[in-house]
């Protein structure tokens, strides 16, 4: 009997994922909040230590919930806040290594040159063309790949020929899109007014698609502990995987539902559950 697809969204803090069984998750694709960034949740964290504590707690939870040998992919980057640069890539890497993960890979997500700059930091030199005024625009982010111990590659031999064929990667697509490189040039999603992602720092579907393609099998469970607008779950559904998401901001429920229903068309039931620790973040931050 074919197993029914499952999609669960929990509104609450991902520092606790008691709803999940240990080893239930095959892949994590997520992008944590950008630390107090003006284009994301500005002022959400009291200080950088509080932000790091969240990363450490989530890493420890994922160590238990992710199956042995499987992957956690974190989309993040260093952040400039009030003239100070925070080493988020290095600190995220340290948090996951300390939690017991192996550091497997770093992919650079390169945004197209000239594609509507947000920071425009390079303009400082234009105003002050002297040494020490150089601040380059950032057109890249890091995709950090962590592995929960060694993967048993011989398990593939236990699959039926049909299963292996269904999970085989299309090598034409693989080569044509330069996916074999550790630099992926993909257009970013801008949180423009009027868009579904307005005010939300969402990542492109294509990043989620590639990570799900390379690191999971059909019917497995993909988790996003910082679900945001629901990109990971939407793509997981498109690619015939189960999806689980945690999101602290319960005001995002209609946005998540709308994004997923772009492809779901009510075919699969999405279970929304709100815990006591869920918040309306935009109301809190604007106070």
- Encode pLDDT of 45-84 as tens digits: 889 999 999 999 999 999 999 999 999 999 999 988 887 8
Question: For position 120, what pLDDT does the model report?
Answer: 64
Q: In which element (H, E) is residue 80 found?
A: strand 79-81
Within a domain: 167: yes
Is the pLDDT at 186 greater than 50, yes or no? yes
Closest CA to 37 of 221, 285, 230, 205: 285
Owner of token pair 């679900």: 227
34 confidence band (pLDDT: 50, 70, 90): confident
CA distance 5 to 240: 8
176: domain CATH number? 3.40.50.150
Question: For position 129, what pLDDT does the model report?
Answer: 93
Domain boundaries, position 243: 7-286
Within a domain: 247: yes
What tokens does 184 get? 């992926």
Taking only the tens place, the pLDDT of each residue in 251-270 is 999 999 988 888 766 667 89
Checking DSSP bridges between strand 66-76 and strand 140-147, what pairing results, if any? antiparallel
Strand ranges, E, within 209-269: 221-224, 242-247
Within a domain: 265: yes
Within a domain: 2: no
Within its chain, how far is the Cα of 74 from the centroid?
A: 5
Q: Which residues pair with 221 in a beta bridge?
A: 242
The number of folded domains in the chain is 1
What tokens does 128 get? 């002050």
Within a domain: 1: no
CA distance 190 to 201: 8
Within a domain: 98: yes
Q: Treating both helix axes as pointing N-terminal to C-terminal, what angle do 253-264 and 231-238 enclose, rounded to 10 degrees? A: 20
pTM of the predicted model, to two decimals? 0.90
């Amino acid at each position: 009997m074919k197993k029914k697809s499952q999609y669960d969204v929990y509104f609450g803090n991902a520092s606790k994922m008691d709803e999940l069984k240990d080893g239930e998750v095959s892949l994590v694709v997520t992008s944590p909040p950008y630390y107090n960034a003006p284009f994301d949740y500005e002022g959400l964290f009291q200080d950088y230590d509080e932000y790091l504590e969240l990363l450490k707690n989530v890493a420890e939870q994922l160590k238990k919930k992710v199956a042995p040998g499987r992957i956690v992919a974190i989309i993040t980057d260093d952040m400039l806040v009030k003239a100070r640069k925070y080493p988020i890539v290095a600190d995220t890497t340290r948090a996951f290594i300390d939690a017991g993960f192996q550091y497997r890979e770093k992919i650079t997500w390169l945004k197209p040159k000239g594609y509507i700059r947000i920071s425009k930091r390079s303009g400082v030199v234009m105003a002050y063309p002297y040494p020490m005024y150089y601040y380059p625009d950032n057109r890249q982010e890091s995709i950090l790949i962590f592995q929960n111990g060694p993967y048993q590659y011989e398990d593939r031999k236990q699959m039926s020929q049909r299963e292996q064929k269904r999970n085989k990667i299309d090598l034409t697509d693989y080569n044509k899109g330069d996916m074999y490189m550790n630099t992926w040039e993909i257009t970013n999603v801008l949180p423009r007014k009027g868009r579904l992602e307005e005010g939300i720092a969402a990542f492109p579907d294509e990043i989620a698609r590639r990570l799900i393609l390379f690191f999971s099998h059909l019917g497995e469970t993909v988790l996003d502990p910082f679900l945001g607008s629901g990109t990971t779950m939407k793509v997981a559904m498109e690619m015939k995987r189960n999806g689980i998401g945690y999101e602290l901001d319960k005001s995002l429920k209609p946005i998540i539902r709308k994004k997923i229903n772009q492809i779901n068309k009510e075919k699969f039931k999405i279970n929304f559950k709100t815990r006591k620790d869920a918040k309306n973040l935009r109301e809190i931050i604007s106070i």
